[in-house]
């Protein structure tokens, strides 16, 4: 997949008192992700072309994609497509990149969500709401041993926009 | 075209009152904001200074208190002491809400020049990440406890 035409739409940086290896593990393991990612489990086949999958607590497939770049523990880039009909056709794929850098005794984690076309702010509002919650919870998990269980309300503005476009959501 | 703005949201396992206090209590602020403190009487219309905790003559940022509704919302103007140009004044809002058992802090920095946007886009995530670490673990991120010579 040619990712050269993807442009960043959402960038979120957070500093975590941990090591790059631990942050990488938290981002790529089912055990960790269930705790900070609203009960969803991430599974990554860590090689270019490997599957990136997110399953809900009941095992149902929620998000799927493919690893584009994999340089542990520094950089992971993958497509990240929610499993709703016609989403990719109408909105294009979503590309997510994690960059993990040592910053003093801590880690600087930067999440970049990119798209191959301009998207309405209503559509992006879901990610703008979700990413700070997910990554704040990951930070709490690594620093205190407990995730910050942010019981997020569904992103109504985004869901309404998807409905207007004819994309069926649960 | 309107000027760029920077919005940062972070969820903290704490209370709005503790977050509010961290922004104003110098013993807390110096731990996560490069050994600086925020000095003001915090009344609407009063001046606010962001200064070196160890040397009150070293002032990095000044402004006025535009809104103050403890512990929910604080709005300040923001400028460097030696900048006389009118478009060098930006505005920072802190919105602090209880959110389902935790607290959500939203910092909105508006009316930014491109240079300021670059500088604060690096600064805010470090400062606010460290504030979160301080409130959740009792100690801030060590790199944010050191005196920062550069403003912003």
Which among A168, A161, A167 has a CA at the least distance from the CA of A127? A161
Is residue B151 over pLDDT 90? no
Query: Do the domain assignments include residue B1?
Result: no
Query: Do the domain assignments include residue B152?
Result: no
Looking at the structure of chain B, the number of domains it has is 1
Q: Do A148 and B13 lie within an 8 Å CB cutoff?
A: yes
User: Does the global pTM surpass 0.90?
Assistant: yes
CATH topology for A14-164 is Alpha-D-Glucose-1,6-Bisphosphate; Chain A, domain 4 (3.30.530)
Our CA-based measurement puts residue A20 at a distance from the nearest CA of chain B, in whole angstroms, of: 15
- The 10s digit of each residue's pLDDT in B120-150 is 999 999 999 999 999 999 999 999 999 876 4
ipTM of the complex: 0.96
Task: Identify the band that residue B152 occupies on the pLDDT scale cut at 50, 70 and 90.
Answer: very low
Which residue from A minimizes the CA distance to B121?
A: A13
Query: Do the domain assignments include residue B14?
Result: yes
* Cα–Cα dist B126/A110, whole Å: 12
**Alpha-carbon separation of residue A117 from A6, A80, A88, A98, A154 (angstroms):** 7, 15, 12, 20, 24
Q: Do A150 and B10 lie within an 8 Å CB cutoff?
A: no
User: Residue B137: its chain A contacts at CB < 8 A?
Assistant: 17, 143-144
**Helix A121-144 × helix A156-164 angle, to 10°:** 140
Residue-range definition of the domain harbouring residue B68: 6-144
User: Residue B11: its chain A contacts at CB < 8 A?
Assistant: 132-133, 136-137, 148, 150
Q: Do A139 and B12 lie within an 8 Å CB cutoff?
A: no
Our CA-based measurement puts residue A105 at a distance from the nearest CA of chain B, in whole angstroms, of: 7
User: Residue B10: its chain A contacts at CB < 8 A?
Assistant: 14, 132, 136
Query: Do the domain assignments include residue B10?
Result: yes
Altogether, the residues listed in chain B come to a count of 152
Mean pLDDT along residues B96-114: 94
- CATH no. for residue B43? 3.30.530.20
- The 10s digit of each residue's pLDDT in B25-48 is 999 999 999 999 999 999 999 999
- The 10s digit of each residue's pLDDT in A112-152 is 999 999 999 999 999 999 999 999 999 999 999 999 987 78
Domain ranges of chain A: 14-164
- The 10s digit of each residue's pLDDT in B51-96 is 999 999 999 999 999 999 999 999 999 999 887 666 689 999 999 9
Answer yes or no: are the C-beta atoms of B29 and B22 closer than 8 Å: yes
Q: Return phi, psi of residue B5, to 5°.
A: -130, 160
Residues in chain A predicted with pLDDT less than 70, given as ranges, are: none
């Amino acid at each position: 997949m040619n990712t050269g035409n993807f442009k960043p739409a959402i960038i979120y940086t957070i500093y975590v008192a941990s090591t790059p290896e631990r942050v990488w593990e938290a981002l790529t393991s089912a055990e960790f992700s269930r705790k900070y990612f609203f009960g969803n489990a991430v599974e990554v086949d860590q090689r270019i072309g490997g599957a990136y999958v997110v399953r809900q607590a009941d095992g149902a497939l929620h998000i799927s994609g493919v690893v584009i770049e994999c340089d542990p523990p520094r950089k992971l880039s993958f497509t990240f497509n929610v499993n709703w009909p016609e989403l990719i056709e109408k909105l294009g794929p979503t590309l997510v990149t994690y960059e993990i850098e040592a910053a003093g005794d801590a880690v600087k984690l930067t999440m970049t969500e990119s798209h191959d076309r301009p998207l309405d702010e209503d559509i992006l509002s879901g990610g703008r709401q979700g990413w700070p919650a997910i990554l704040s919870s990951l930070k709490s998990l690594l620093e205190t041993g407990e995730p910050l269980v942010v019981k997020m309300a569904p992103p109504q503005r985004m869901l309404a926009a998807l409905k207007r476009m004819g994309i069926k959501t649960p | 075209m309107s000027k760029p703005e920077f919005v940062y949201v972070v969820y903290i396992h704490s209370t709005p009152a503790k977050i509010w206090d961290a922004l104003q209590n110098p013993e807390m602020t110096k731990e996560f904001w490069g050994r600086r403190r925020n000095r003001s009487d915090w009344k609407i219309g009063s001046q606010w200074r962001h200064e070196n905790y160890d040397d009150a003559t070293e002032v990095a940022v000044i402004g006025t208190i535009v809104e103050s509704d403890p512990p929910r919302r604080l709005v300040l103007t923001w400028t460097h002491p030696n900048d006389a140009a009118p478009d060098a004044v930006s505005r920072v809002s802190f919105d602090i809400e209880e959110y389902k058992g935790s607290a959500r802090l939203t910092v909105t920095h508006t009316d930014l020049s491109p240079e300021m946007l670059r500088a604060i886009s690096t600064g805010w995530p470090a400062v606010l990440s460290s504030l979160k670490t301080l409130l959740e673990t009792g100690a801030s991120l060590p790199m944010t406890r050191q005196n920062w010579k550069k403003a912003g």
